[in-house]
């Protein structure tokens, strides 16, 4: 791959990969790091790209793997700490928000694969159903049906826990 080709790919896909990393990480600095590392790995391992999917989908898959690896490393080295509630919110509202958020995360965590990953790629990763299908080696319709079933399963779990 020539330097010119690498630069064209970088310019064409950087913002998409960065945006995806930003939705995963929620932190600009970490998203930039993930995006940079994604392109480094893609260009240094170009023989692994078989052309079976769109380049953007392939790059986003690399970014997702980097994010997951980084989270695992952080969890191993991060001590448990108590967070103080936001002074702008009442303690009751803060507790309710945390409880709702916790319930949603618990329901999502309990969701079996591939439902959980399809849901996360669609909602947090903002990927199209076509791109999700490509990641899984399935059809766009499979991704739509799986996402719909994931939503129904999450809603069912949330309703049961009320």
The CA-based diameter of the chain, rounded to the nearest angstrom, is 59
State the Cα–Cα distance between residues 74 and 80, nearest whole angstrom: 11
- CATH 1.10.1740.10 domain position(s) in the chain: 1-78
Helix, strand, coil shares of the chain, percent, nearest 5, are 75, 0, 25
pLDDT > 90? residue 145? yes
pLDDT > 90? residue 146? yes
Contact between 62 and 42 (Cβ < 8 Å): yes
- CATH 1.10.10.10 domain position(s) in the chain: 90-162
Of the pLDDT bands very low, low, confident and very high (cuts 50, 70, 90), residue 51 is low
> For 94-119, how does the pLDDT look when each residue is reduced to its tens digit (9 = 90+)?
666 677 777 777 777 788 888 888 88
Question: Could you tell me the fold of the domain covering 90-162?
Answer: Arc Repressor Mutant, subunit A (1.10.10)
Of the pLDDT bands very low, low, confident and very high (cuts 50, 70, 90), residue 139 is very high
Q: What integer best gives the mean pLDDT of the chain? A: 79
Average pLDDT (127-141) is 89
What φ, ψ does residue 26 adopt, rounded to 5°? 70, 15
Of the pLDDT bands very low, low, confident and very high (cuts 50, 70, 90), residue 148 is very high
What is the secondary structure of 106-136 as a DSSP string? HHHHHSPTTHHHHHHHHHTS---HHHHHHHH
End-to-end Cα distance, the chain:
56
State the Cα–Cα distance between residues 147 and 129, nearest whole angstrom: 9
CATH architecture for the domain at 1-78: Orthogonal Bundle (1.10)
pLDDT of amino acid 25: 82
Sign, CA dihedral 95-25-111-75, equals negative
pLDDT > 70? residue 37? yes
State the Cα–Cα distance between residues 134 and 44, nearest whole angstrom: 22
Average pLDDT (28-37) is 90
Of the pLDDT bands very low, low, confident and very high (cuts 50, 70, 90), residue 144 is very high
pLDDT over 70 percentage in the chain = 78
């Amino acid at each position: 791959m020539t330097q010119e080709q690498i630069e064209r790919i970088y310019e064409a896909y950087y913002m998409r990969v960065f945006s995806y990393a930003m939705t995963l990480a929620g932190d600009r600095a970490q998203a930039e790091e993930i995006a940079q590392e994604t392109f480094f790995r893609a260009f240094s391992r170009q023989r692994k790209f078989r052309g079976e999917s769109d380049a953007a989908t392939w790059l986003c898959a690399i970014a997702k793997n980097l994010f997951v690896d980084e989270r695992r490393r952080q969890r191993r080295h991060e001590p448990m700490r108590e967070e103080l509630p936001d002074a702008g919110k009442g303690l009751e509202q803060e507790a309710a928000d945390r409880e709702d958020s916790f319930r949603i995360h618990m329901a999502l965590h309990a969701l079996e694969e591939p439902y959980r990953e399809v849901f996360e790629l669609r909602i947090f990763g903002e990927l199209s159903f076509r791109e999700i299908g490509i990641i899984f080696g399935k059809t766009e319709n499979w991704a739509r049906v799986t996402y719909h079933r994931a939503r129904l399963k999450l809603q069912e779990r949330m309703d049961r826990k009320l």
